[in-house]
Amino acid sequence: MSLPNEMDALVLKGVREFEIQTAPVPQPDSDEVICKVDTTFICGTDPHIINGDFPGFWPMGYPFIPGHEWSGTVVTAGPRALSLGWKEGDRVCGISHCGCGYCANCMKGRFNNCLNYGHEERGHRQYGHYTPGAYAQYMRTSVKSIYKVPDSMDLEYAACVDPLSIALYTVKRSRMQPGDDVLILGTGPQGLMAILCAKALGAGRILAVGSGERLEKAKELGAIGISYKEGDVLAQIKALTNGLGVPAVLECAGTAESIQLACLAASKGGVVSMIGIPHSDPSLPVKRIVLDEIELVGNRANPNTAQEAIDLLVNGRVDLTPLMTHRFALKDFSIALDVFEGRKDGAIKVATKPNGM
């Protein structure tokens, strides 16, 4: 396919400074493809990137095109990508991480912790974080970071594979067993997807701590809701578990207070699986962590769970439609971001459409 020379893209020019600009359409390297983007969802990390909360890291500099929860269609492929079976017309979804492929961690399948992180000249990428992303009409990506979307799946739906596979990874890392109680702290998009994944993997009762409309959504998805605005949360958790606590705790809120609560709410020998990133380091109950053998597990992204997430969606084990609430043209990104950040009109997953609605 003949590509245009230019495209519309959301360009960050500085902290909280962005606009839709004309940008060059990228060309693929040997193991890359260029995709026409169908949908890019706003991730909870995106406002932090836009607000400059990770200076010199995400992004490393300006101007920059963010966005990493996306889907689209391959329009051209490099020679090696073609030899690997990728071709024009393939429907795909992407994840943000692309490991170098040859360091010790990548060889173990832990490309999310690639030892060459940040060195694009060595083959590492993180799309939408420090490598140009998907808030654009066309997306350049390594074939290591994309997955084929079945014809039965809508591309907008497929753009949620990235966050869903992160939630799935977080659940699996808690070592939850079928029938176990699970506690989820935080009822944002990641916490709500964790509820769906925990149900799909056979959780017993799912306790969810949150507030407002999102806590009500958690209840609709089958969780036992606990409002952190009403009473002693730890006491409520203990009362529901005969004082034992919960064997699998998923920390999805990313606050110092929530991480402290997670350590106190876990049962003896329990696992706290963390995906939230706090602004400040929490004060941890180390005595309890040691004497009761509480394990704290950090989770970065979604290594090797994207295909599993696709399979859960295809087989009807997970239904994301209750979470997909809003859609905007890319030109209206400022409105979309305001709706997402303000949680307006029940906003959970807010989509942008770089090539039109």
Instruction: Taking residues 238-246, report their average pLDDT.
Output: 98
**Are 17 and 153 within one domain?**
yes
For the chain, strand residue ranges (E) read 6-14, 17-24, 32-41, 69-77, 91-94, 97-98, 125-126, 138-142, 146-148, 182-185, 206-210, 224-227, 246-251, 266-274, 295-298, 324-329, 349-353
* Mean pLDDT, residues 134-156: 98
Mean pLDDT in residue range 43-56:
97
Query: Per the structure block, which two tokens stand in for 147?
Result: 């997955």
Residue 287 carries which side chain, given as an amino acid letter? K
Residue 313 lies in a domain: no
Is the separation of the CB atoms in 48 and 54 below 8 Å? yes
Q: Do residues 276 and 199 touch, judged by C-beta distance below 8 A?
A: no
Please choose, from the candidates 2, 116, 94, 96, the residue with its C-alpha nearest in 3D space to the C-alpha of residue 46: 96
CB 45 within 8 A of CB 67: no
Verify that 151 and 174 share a domain, yes or no: no
Instruction: Give Dmax (Cα) for the chain.
Output: 65
Task: Classify 116 as helix, strand or coil.
Answer: coil
Using the predicted structure, report yes or no on whether residue 243 has a pLDDT greater than 90. yes
The total of structural domains in the chain comes to 2
What was the pLDDT predicted at 2?
A: 82
Mean pLDDT computed over every residue of the chain: 97
Do 41 and 123 belong to one domain? yes
Please say if the pLDDT value at position 246 is more than 80. Answer: yes
Residue 101 phi/psi, 5° resolution?
Answer: 100, -10
My answer on whether 176 and 148 are in the same domain is: no
Q: Please check whether residues 253 and 130 belong to one and the same domain.
A: no
Is 325 within a domain?
Answer: yes
Q: What is the CATH number of the domain that holds 215?
A: 3.40.50.720
**Residues 105, 44: one domain?**
yes
208 & 102 share domain: no
Question: pLDDT, tens digit, for every residue of 50-65?
Answer: 999 999 999 999 999 9
List, in order, residues 6 or more apart from 284 with CB less than 8 Å away. 259, 260, 263, 296
What φ, ψ does residue 279 adopt, rounded to 5°?
-75, -25
- Residue at 256 is within a domain: yes
Look up the CATH number of the domain holding residue 53. Answer: 3.90.180.10
- Co-location of 43 and 124 in the same domain: yes
Classify residue 275 as exposed, middle or buried by CB count within 10 Å of its CB (0-12, 13-18, 19+): buried
Residue 83 CA to residue 145 CA, distance in Å, equals: 16
Domain match, 153 and 73 both: yes
Sort residue 340 into left (φ over 0), alpha (ψ -120 to 50) or beta.
Answer: alpha
Residue 110 lies in a domain: yes
What local confidence, expressed as pLDDT, does residue 254 receive?
95
Q: Please compute the mean of the pLDDT values over residues 215-240 and round it to a whole number.
A: 98
pLDDT score of 38 more than 80: yes
The reply to whether 275 and 337 lie within a common domain is no
The pLDDT tens digits of the residues spanning 188-209 come to 999 999 999 999 999 999 999 9
Q: For residues 201 and 156, state if they share a domain.
A: no
Q: Could you tell me the two tokens for 343?
A: 């949680």
Q: Is residue 311 part of a domain?
A: no
Q: How many CB atoms neighbour CB 54 within 10 A?
A: 15
Q: Is residue 310 part of a domain?
A: no
- pLDDT, mean of residues 292-310: 98
Alpha-carbon distance of 261 to 268, in angstroms, equals 14
Q: What are the tens digits of pLDDT across the range 100-122?
A: 999 999 999 999 999 999 999 99
The reported pLDDT for the residue numbered 279 is 86
Inter-helix orientation angle 306-314/161-173, to 10°: 110
- Give mean pLDDT, residues 317-336: 98
315 falls within a domain: no
Answer whether residue 124 shows pLDDT above 80: yes
CA distance 306 to 160: 10
Among 102, 152, 97, 139, which residue's Cα sits nearest to residue 122?
102
pTM: 0.97
Task: Confirm whether 14 is domain-assigned.
Answer: yes
> The domain containing residue 234 runs over which residues?
164-298
Based on the domain organization, do 121 and 60 belong to the same domain? yes
What's the pLDDT score for residue 88?
98
For the chain, the residue count is 357
